[in-house]
Amino acid sequence: MRPDAGPDLLEVAAALLPGVRLDDAFVSADGNVHHVLLIPGVAAVRVSRRPLAAASMPRNVEVLRHLAGAGLPFQVPEPLTPVTTFGDRAAVAVSWVDGVALPEGVGDPSQVAEVLAAVRSVPLDGPLLAVLDGRALGPPWSTVVAEEILPRLPVRWRSEGRRRLDAALALEPVPDALVHGDLGGSNVHWSPDGKLLGILDWDLAMPADPAIDAALMAWHGWENVRRAVSAATYRRARTWDALFGVGHLVATMNGRPMTNPDGFVAAIVPWLEAHAWTAGHPDG
């Protein structure tokens, strides 16, 4: 066992996966919503940090079950166990996904295009859509932004925030597609020769504008995104991102509750300050 694997997580893993050796298990550095214990070559054990994550875990596992049976051109983590409660926490073990993530800024247009095409290839059919679509569970994202977020922004950002919200609302509607919601970084795994192997962490998956995923792939650089997608998709991606960073924006979508708007604003204001010029200009 590596020293950074907490004993409580090891106990959860042992209960979920009896007989599996945990000598090499270690805690992932990622995971704001879950603690993640990695058992190389075997599984990842996800344990909720907070009640909301525990409550949403059965839905997220059901999404993985549907994706695993969809014949995708990449691996997804497949549930190996039922969702199991340990006190006020929920946990599940999912299959190991091979490959490694690319560092920020690394990649090329063909890789960006491959990931976006692979996600778009998933049919947004009845059973998958039924488990994915949470929009009826809460107010529209634009209402959350207008009523919960903009009034809490520093005064200097309120009118500009309203302008950016209006720009996003003025986008011409496009058909819903499967949107991963957290593409890039450690969630996309590649082979040593640069082929897409797997996509992890589908907790934010939803039916939405696929340009949202294009914006998230700016992890690899906006120029790579621009060269990977159509001009129209690129401009949509920049418009979505301009509001206050698409990685933040997705947390307001698909009926998700805004449980801590003050904390959310505290997270987005540094982004707004850091992107004061480029975020307001789709070609910036």
Tens of pLDDT, residues 35-63: 999 999 999 999 999 899 999 999 999 99
Residue 7 banded pLDDT, cuts 50, 70, 90: low
* pLDDT on residue 65: 95
Which pLDDT belongs to residue 28? 87
How many residues in total does the chain contain?
284
Q: Which domains does the chain have, with CATH numbers?
A: 7-95 (3.30.200.20), 109-280 (3.90.1200.10)
Q: Which residue has the higher pLDDT, 32 or 70?
A: 70
pTM equals 0.92
Average pLDDT for the chain: 92
The pLDDT of residue 213: 98
Say what angle helices 155-169 and 231-242 make with each other, to 10 degrees.
Answer: 150
Of residues 145, 207, 223, the one with CA closest to residue 173: 207
- pLDDT (0 to 100) of residue 3: 45
- Is 32's pLDDT higher than 80? no
Question: Do residues 199 and 189 touch, judged by C-beta distance below 8 A?
Answer: yes
pLDDT over threshold 70, residue 281? no
d(CA 67, CA 93): 16
Q: What does the pLDDT read at residue 283?
A: 52
183-198, pLDDT tens digit by residue?
988 999 999 999 999 9
Q: What is the pLDDT of residue 240?
A: 98
CB atoms within 10 A of CB 34: 25
pLDDT of 280 > 50? The answer is no
**Could you report the per-residue pLDDT of 54-103, keeping only the tens digit for each?**
999 999 999 999 999 888 889 999 999 999 999 999 999 999 999 999 99
Residue 214 has φ and ψ, to the nearest 5°, of: -60, -40
Q: Check whether 246 has a pLDDT greater than 50.
A: yes
Burial class for 216, CB neighbours closer than 10 Å (0-12, 13-18, 19+): buried
